[in-house]
Structure 1
Amino acid sequence: MSHANAALTPRARLRLAKLIVENHWPVGPAAKMFMVSPVTARKWAARYRTEGPAGMTDRSSRPQSMPRKTPP
């Protein structure tokens, strides 16, 4: 199950990434078909190229760092 902020399920992300990487679809039309931004589609395609299907799993949407955080 996807988390609340996820645009697509991991299975749909995999379908989108395969469409772009393996079937050589342009990013714009593929993104429009899945109703995500081209930037997001490009990100998932790049992740699929480097990590394969395992890269399509949900990730935390929490920021990795807080550079302006006040020290305790």
Structure 2
Amino acid sequence: MGLTDISDIVYYSFVCMTTIGFGEIIPQSQIAKSLSIFSGIVGQFYLTIIMALIIGKLLNSMLKN
């Protein structure tokens, strides 16, 4: 199944960045495969940064009290 519709692209990006990876949409070209890898890595960093910010703010507020 190719990425021909914008909704497919958004769906694939969400599945890739959240590392769910259902596998019903598969990149065909080398460029698409490389972008998928990049998207997965960015998704991991995004999750890590958001969690670090949340935990940092929580710990900072706990230490002030």
TM bucket (normalised to shorter chain) is 0.3 to 0.5
TM-score of the two chains, using structure 1 as the length reference: 0.33
Between structure 1 and structure 2, the one with the greater Rg is 2
